[in-house]
Structure 1
Amino acid sequence: MSVNEGILERVFHLKAKNTDVRTEILAGLTTFVALAYIIFVNPNILADAGIPKEAAIASTICATAVATFLMSIWANFPIAVAPGMGLNAFFAYYVVGVLHLSWQVALGAVFFSGIFFLILTLGGIRQAIIRAVPMNLKSSIGVGIGLFIAFIGLKNAGIVVADKATFVTVGHLAAPAPFLACIGLIITAVLVAREIKGAILIGILVTTLMGMVAGVVQVPQGIGDIMSFHLPNMTPTFMELDIRGAWEFGIFSIVFTFTIVELFDNMGTLIGLTRKAKLMDDKGEIENLDRALTTDAIGTLMSAIFGTSTVTSYVESAAGIAEGGRTGLTGITITVLFLVSLIFAPLIGLVPGFATAPALILVGAMMMAEISNVSFDDITEAVPAFLTIIMMPLTYSIANGFAFGFVSYTFVKVLAGRYKDVSIVMWVVSLAFLVNFYMRLY
């Protein structure tokens, strides 16, 4: 073992996790490719709030790199942390668009939510909530996330599209993107079945190349299509948050929504991914949970300082976990690649959504294996489990699935005369969800 390998072993405990350097780097590369779309999508949404797009690109990359680095070094988790989809839309289209607050004030609200996360974490409240989740719901969360990931993949590929009459329907499968995504899915599944190392990443690259051959993906014509010589400038957003403005507006309603959505979106993701990565024991305990949650809170504070919306753990990390990622070395790889993307953003942009779609669909299918641990024999367990699973993809939100599972579990158990199964924490969280649902009406 070389000196460098020895250092990596001491920091990340690779042998104890039954992994190695090559596997972790490959897993990090796979997650990065699946997640790279955030570099382009998040700035576009933030730009609608008035944030300079170039600064939004830099803040997105830097917030992701810092938060993922902390999650990797401190918690030793193979999980990427980046500005959350949904949270960025709430930031841009409600806080700024509907309430007509400046983006600086909105960043101030994000900062307050980060402080609240940190208080909840240091006080052990977030940990208590996770530990209070019944094992049946914990297994259900993994299944729900699997369906959610697969649905995202099907949507990105154009295999599933919107429909006025039925909400969703089958897309035009003969069109280049859906057709190539279907071929890519078959290729990736075969590679996984044959236990080819890097199967998911290979599938993404092959699908991208097929897109180039078919003429639906740009073929690099020169160095300008591969790398940029002008690094995006974060100065317009760095430390521009307006804390006083957020406080004077009255931050409760905004911060409460930020907190509820991010709190349970992140918790649901951590539960599902750590279980998939075998970082959860048979009793449902997650190792280094305190550190992971503290990292999330610090990441939220840093995102406000950099100039982007709230960060959260990303479900696309499941792609890297499926490749064997088990430690923070996967996250370090993701961090490095995001920093490098400041230069190679044009190259990353060549990978289309339909090329990463097969990876998401396949990972979603693999996460469905967790359904064998969900008990449907007891109706008071079956209904909450089912609602947790089905509401994640149907509402396009992990937090909503969490909410329906929690609230239904509490009320079904109590009204069935089994109130002893419901802890005080479950009652409090269910009430918080009901309050949040009510506030969304106004």
Structure 2
Amino acid sequence: MSETESLESWIERQYPLAVTNMLRSISATGVTKPRPGFGQTVVPVKGSVVASPIPASYDPDPDYFFHWYRDSAVVMDALRLVETEEASAHFCDFVDFSLGLNDLRGGDLVEDKAWREGVAEDFKQFVREDDDLASVVVRGETRVNPDGSLDISRWNRPQYDGIAARILTVLRWVKCRGPFGGLHDDAVSELLDEDIRFVLAHWREPSYDIWEEEKAHHYYTLRIQCAALEEGAAWLAGEGDGEAGHQARAAALEIRGRLDRYWQAEPGYYRSRLTDDGKPTPKDLDIAVILAVIHAGGTSPAHSPADPKVERTLDRLDALFEADYDINRDRPAGRGPALGRYHGDEYYSGGAYYFSTHGAAELCYLRASALRGDDPEAAQRLRARGDAYLETIRAYTPEDGEMSEQFDRRTGEHTSAKHLAWSYAGFISAVEARKRA
């Protein structure tokens, strides 16, 4: 990082690097990912989005060569903000790929045993059992292979935030970039209709959280589902399905009531989850709440950037990670704290995440926009707070612009997945929110 370069100049230099690096994960058809232990060679098809385009194998970097529903939605939403010639083509491919997943049947893998013969003996413990495969609901999967095949590895399922996030992404593309012409407009309508009905059918069920670690009722999942059903209700009505639109609106209203229960007045933050026994957990204070609000969007008084309780939640997260991370102590003036996920995180370095710190900056910019007319002084303070987070990002981003998943809580060194697409998407979204603020 240049000591004399301004934040504005750095953002201007980093932005195209982030766009270029994010695009590496979209339709990464030129990359081959061998998984010899699973007897697989994966070659992505158009429309898929890999979480990281680096074909690692926990050597030591994790294998993120999968199409996660949530990550892909976040990346495609950021692509909508970018002026590139291929953006609309990528979106249409993404819709086609998403619809093509409807043809996946876990039962086909149960009937065809030949693929199991290719799994190495020491990898069989990581492979899904037949009863798991037989019960596959494709939209309830956490992720699929970017070649359009089912993920055969044992993983925490179901996860219900990804399809809701996809609804929001597709609706935003329709609003800002559509129509897409002929068959692709039909494909968009088909995907939206099926996704909205899926969320409507499953939102009451517990699922695994955004980190794929704990099954419960999660703030992130519910907030994204609420936004998807609110926006989806208007779309359904516009398509002439008033009854389904009414059901979606009613469900969204019920979810909003449930979200209010996540507020903890005494500690002063929104809990990230409610377990069956209702008892607090170490993960209650979680950056997932901030990510939920910025991904859901909206301007309502509650559960949006306009909600002062969300800013109070961010205040608590700042204090948590200032105490937890060595890199946050004695930092220079003008830098905000680097943020992670939750207290006690042990994944890789358990350190700061690029997308967490980007998310904090984006919330500040979105909240500044919401308050600009009524409280310009608060808006100015929030913009400065957002810039402080980006100054920290700048400090831990090398000259070549690479953003991994984490940077170490003690040393600031990059850890976990390299070139994480979500890291670049989070930067792009934060910078675009900064422009509007």
Instruction: Tell me the TM-score normalised to structure 1 length.
Output: 0.23
Instruction: Tell me the TM-score normalised to structure 2 length.
Output: 0.24
Per residue, is there more helix in 1 or in 2? 1
Q: Which has the higher contact order (CA 8 A, sep 6+)?
A: 1
